[in-house]
Chain A
């Protein structure tokens, strides 16, 4: 495995701590002994080909899938013992569109704020904040089905941030989104990280990988590399992350 020497140091600031995490579906091992950590406030990229096990890993960390064995804490909470407690501290944006098409922009935000137990005033303030930030003031009462996909994705991200989570998990958030919107989306991600919220993101786009503080590359359920994008390029004597990815994925 290609890893920097200091990987497992600095425990206190680690918002995600995973050790020997295994997930099996019958005889198939989707996650094979994952060990890594994520520091508070960093943008952590999770790369891998389709079927490499990224989504399985992310779903376990979110408490959507029960792990088979190993240890893992998210925001200081053990995901084996208390997956429901984890959910209060995380935001999640899946690759599938997760807002309601038959509700308006405002109604969607109000609903998600409500089920996180926020007060009416906080819901209104934060929804207004995000709607204004996205420049969607005019679309506040528009049904979501009438709004372009890129905007919907930004709104889904906002909905995931509404309850001020410690960490946001994003599973291929920019799939099917145009390059301009993708750029704006990453600006939002940077802003969010600056506010101290940790970002855990999976992606297929290698240019996006370069925006991350650190990336891990998964092949066939295992993490085969984990470091800053620059360090990985240097170590493998590659020209860019794209080449790194192809080299690692092919080698396996």
Chain B
């Protein structure tokens, strides 16, 4: 046990003297947090839209106005020829156009069914989904208003059957993307630092030759790895804490769940992550090799984690692959605790899986670290 303390002491001294590493460990991630949260937004604003108005009535005008006043849309053109709208879509002048048919007003007053076609540029399919969602929302709102005014105009009994979509968003009531992104980006930052620092660490001792000197001492393999793990664990915890504080005070992220639980899971996550790094470190002989391998796993972990894509829409085989992705577990747990206030029983299965995964990888790393070649 005492031997471990000496390794921890040595690692902290070395980290504190590394002038290139210190800013990377603390400043860069924080800058990234501030930048990424603002830049990596899923919201789309100022969508360029064209309206083909074949009716040119008061009602069609009112609908067009709705788009004009929406923060999401930027009304570029009102045209009367659908081919002109198509051309604009093709030339990327607009991202979407709607086509209001002739006799729109007449049919609405007669309470007949009217179809408005919406054409969206779906090169970016997720954007397209969002755009059509926004449009549907606006048209439904418009429909409701018209209906109310018509009903009050005419008779109360002629109420046509109508299906209303009733949406309610829980846990993130304003659909604030920052609430969603900050916990996610925190996970990325901790992952980056954790995997890179640990992957580079043991391999560095191989490069400068000190590993041989350590291998000739009676220092145990577990003592060695644990002694290396603790300092980076502390750095990871610090880093996460600073990020969380920024999230709380700069972005007003509500932290609903128990901090105690959050940190408990964070420790298990960091432990798993560092074990991955050390495994990479023991498998490679130069820092370049280790860096490339670490980079590969990092991309895989992050892209599959559900940060950028909804995890439920990825194929079955990839979901199985995610069972060995520590980032996927923690991303999910992290958001659940922070935004939803989940308690241990809600996340128990994921926490256990993460823990078992960590134990397995750590043992692999210890096994792969050979004092005798």
Contacts and interface: CB of A to CB of B under 8 A. Distances in A.
B3 interface: yes
B14 A103 contact: yes
A100 B6 CA distance: 14
A98 B212 contact: yes
A114 B217 contact: no
A146 interface: no
Nearest to B214: A115
Question: Which of the listed residues A100, A107, A116 has the most CB atoms from chain B within 10 Å of its own CB?
Answer: A100
Interface in B14-37: 14, 17-18
B213 interface: yes
A9 to B, nearest CB: 30
A160 B218 CA distance: 13
Given A102-B18, A103-B14, A114 B372 contact: no
A84 B210 contact: no
Contact of A98 (B17, B210, B218): B210
A115 B3 contact: yes
Contacts of B219: 115
Given A115-B219, A116-B218, A96 B18 contact: no
Interface in A64-99: 64-66, 83-85, 87-88, 90, 92, 94, 96-99
B372 A66 contact: yes
B92 interface: no
Given A83-B372, A97-B209, A103-B10, A64 B2 contact: no
A152 to B, nearest CB: 13
Contacts of B187: none
Given A63-B372, A96-B209, A114 B2 contact: yes
A117 B2 contact: yes
B7 A115 contact: yes
Contacts of B39: none
Contacts of B214: 115
Interface string B198-215: 000000000011101111
Contacts of B7: 111, 115
A84 B218 contact: yes
B371 interface: yes
Contacts of B10: 100, 103, 107, 111
A114 B209 contact: no
B216 A87 contact: yes
A194 B3 CA distance: 31
A108 B89 CA distance: 69
Contacts of B218: 84-85, 87-88, 116-117
Contacts of A114: 2-3, 5-6, 9
Contacts of A62: 216
A115 B215 CA distance: 11
Contacts of A117: 2-3, 218
Given A64-B215, A115-B6, A107 B13 contact: yes
A65 B212 contact: no
Given A115-B3, A115-B7, A64 B210 contact: no
A110 interface: yes
B110 interface: no
A87 B217 contact: yes
Contacts of B5: 114
Contacts of A110: 6
B8 to A, nearest CB: 10
Question: Which of the listed residues B5, B18, B212, B215 has the most CB atoms from chain A within 10 Å of its own CB?
Answer: B212
B209 A94 contact: yes
25 contacts: A62-B216, A63-B371, A63-B372, A64-B215, A64-B216, A64-B373, A65-B373, A84-B218, A84-B371, A85-B218, A88-B218, A90-B216, A92-B212, A96-B212, A97-B209, A98-B212, A98-B213, A102-B18, A111-B7, A111-B10, A114-B3, A114-B6, A115-B6, A115-B217, A117-B3
Interface of A: 62-66, 83-85, 87-88, 90, 92, 94, 96-103, 107, 110-112, 114-117, 143
Interface of B: 2-3, 5-7, 9-10, 13-14, 17-18, 208-210, 212-219, 371-373
